[in-house]
């Protein structure tokens, strides 16, 4: 069964610090997709990124970057020069895609609460 673990329950940083949110996943599928979502205090879930299991290239989008390593089953998310507006709950999620019963069903980690202090 697929599983996503976000070991960091809460992280607190001061503005301009870099912060890395960890995500470790478990799956038996060879094809799968990994996601990060942001849930700001307003409550909606905002899609940030999707990666497939065959693409281990790191990705950078502005201050955000993602490091995908199949060897360690990790998909970590780094925010560079954090800002107060980055304060939110961040969820990592996994979707298996080999065609089994869990195909296409997003399984979420428990989330990491990030607080950025001014």
Partner 1 sequence: DAGVIQSPRHEVTEMGQEVTLRCKPISGHDYLFWYRQTMMRGLELLIYFNNNVPIDDSGMPEDRFSAKMPNASFSTLKIQPSEPRDSAVYFCASSRDRVDGYTFGSGTRLTVV
Q: Which of residues 29-68 bind partner 1 (CB under 8 A)?
A: 33, 35, 37, 42-47, 49-50, 52
- What three-state secondary structure class fits 86? helix
Query: From CA 90, how far away is CA 109, in angstroms rounded?
Result: 9
Stretch that binds partner 1, among 8-16, 63-71, 74-82, 95-103 (CB under 8 A): 95-103
Residues 77/92, Cβ–Cβ less than 8 Å: yes
Q: Which runs of consecutive H residues, i.e. helices, occur in the chain? A: none
Q: Does 81 bind partner 1 (CB under 8 A)?
A: no
Query: From CA 30, how far away is CA 21, in angstroms rounded?
Result: 24
If the CB atoms of residues 82 and 96 are measured against partner 1, the closer one turns out to be 96
Binding site for partner 1 (CB under 8 A): 33, 35, 37, 42-47, 49-50, 52, 91, 95, 97, 101, 103-111
């Amino acid at each position: 069964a697929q599983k996503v673990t976000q070991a960091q329950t809460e992280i607190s940083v001061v503005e301009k610090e870099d912060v890395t949110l960890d995500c470790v996943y478990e799956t038996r599928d060879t094809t799968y997709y990994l996601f990060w979502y942001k849930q700001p205090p307003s409550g909606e879930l905002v899609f940030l990124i999707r990666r497939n299991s065959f693409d281990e290239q790191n990705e950078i989008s502005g201050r955000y970057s993602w490091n995908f390593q199949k060897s360690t089953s990790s998909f970590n998310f780094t925010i560079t020069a954090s800002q107060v507006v980055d304060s939110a709950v961040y969820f990592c999620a996994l979707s298996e895609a080999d065609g089994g019963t869990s195909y296409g069903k997003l399984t979420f980690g428990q989330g990491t609460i990030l607080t950025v202090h001014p």
